[in-house]
A = this chain, B = another copy of it.
């Protein structure tokens, strides 16, 4: 029987040219390699080398054998990788979302309903999410609209409505609602991790500049210590974001309200069934 280890030896010899170098790379003794090569010749039943007194070189048989050896080793690696990936996939629920708020809720639900599973999550734009769902990179994705495909299970997953949060004394502090274009030109604080929302202010308020904050603490600190307006959503407020004494002004643009939908492939449904049975 061809020892798998010997194929590695063969490939190493092919790569490094001498038994000594190959032995060094393989962390084994050089006589051991001599023996491996002899053993291989014996198992192939044909000579694989030209031998001179202190030089060993492949003949045509050897070159061919080494090529095959590399392919077999590669395929063995692929096997290990794929089986491990399958196993991991079986123990993981991967959630992709267009925005962080509904993602956090979904992750919490998933962790609660499937305590033995690993929950992974990330925010992406809608298109890569949909592609990723079909490629089974995600078991579940959350979109700000209802996807239309008979191969998908879909349920609503809450809404999120955006407000302006302005300091007392701001010119819109007393408004019962404004359109985004009315705020256009005014500089604003903007939290970085807001998913698909990042497009909206830049489209509707092209003349504003946005001071993007990556860090949540810095963001909240600036809210209380500056008079720059910022965005906030009802869902974020429910998630304990502190806004000091800001005044909320409703945004009248219809795009300021999103209705989330979570979706999974029907074939994946059994794996995440409980998440869909949950009442929204």
Q: A residues bordering B, Cβ < 8 Å?
A: 1-5, 43-48, 60-61, 64-65, 68-69, 71-72, 75-76, 78-80, 82-84, 86-87, 90
- Residues of chain B within 8 A of A82, CB atoms compared: 64, 68
Tell me the minimal C-beta distance from A137 to chain B in angstroms: 18
User: Is chain A's interface secondary structure helix, strand, loop, or mixed overall?
Assistant: helix
Tell me the minimal C-beta distance from A93 to chain B in angstroms: 16
- Residues of chain B within 8 A of A46, CB atoms compared: 83-84, 87
- Residues of chain B within 8 A of A4, CB atoms compared: 1-4
- Residues of chain B within 8 A of A84, CB atoms compared: 44-46
Assembled-state Cα–Cα distance A100/B39 (Å)? 43
Tell me the minimal C-beta distance from A190 to chain B in angstroms: 44
A5, A69, A86: residue with the most chain B Cβ atoms closer than 10 Å: A86
Tell me the minimal C-beta distance from A155 to chain B in angstroms: 27
A3, A69, A72: residue with the most chain B Cβ atoms closer than 10 Å: A72
- Residues of chain B within 8 A of A68, CB atoms compared: 75, 78-79, 82-83
Q: Tell whether, in the assembled complex, residue B79 and residue A47 are in contact, meaning their CB atoms are under 8 Å apart.
A: no
Tell me the minimal C-beta distance from A69 to chain B in angstroms: 7
Q: Tell whether, in the assembled complex, residue B1 and residue A83 are in contact, meaning their CB atoms are under 8 Å apart.
A: no
- Residues of chain B within 8 A of A90, CB atoms compared: 60-61
Q: With A2-B4, A4-B2, A75-B75 known to touch, is A64 a contact of B80 (CB < 8 Å)?
A: no
Q: With A75-B75, A87-B47 known to touch, is A80 a contact of B2 (CB < 8 Å)?
A: yes
Tell me the minimal C-beta distance from A36 to chain B in angstroms: 13
Q: With A61-B86, A80-B2, A80-B44 known to touch, is A72 a contact of B69 (CB < 8 Å)?
A: no
- Residues of chain B within 8 A of A5, CB atoms compared: 1
Q: Which residue of B lies closest to A4 (CB)?
A: B4
Tell me the minimal C-beta distance from A70 to chain B in angstroms: 11
- Residues of chain B within 8 A of A48, CB atoms compared: 83
- Residues of chain B within 8 A of A79, CB atoms compared: 65, 68-69, 72
Assembled-state Cα–Cα distance A174/B269 (Å)? 96
Q: Tell whether, in the assembled complex, residue A86 and residue B71 are in contact, meaning their CB atoms are under 8 Å apart.
A: no
Assembled-state Cα–Cα distance A151/B195 (Å)? 64
Q: Which residue of B lies closest to A67 (CB)?
A: B79
- Residues of chain B within 8 A of A75, CB atoms compared: 68, 71-72, 75
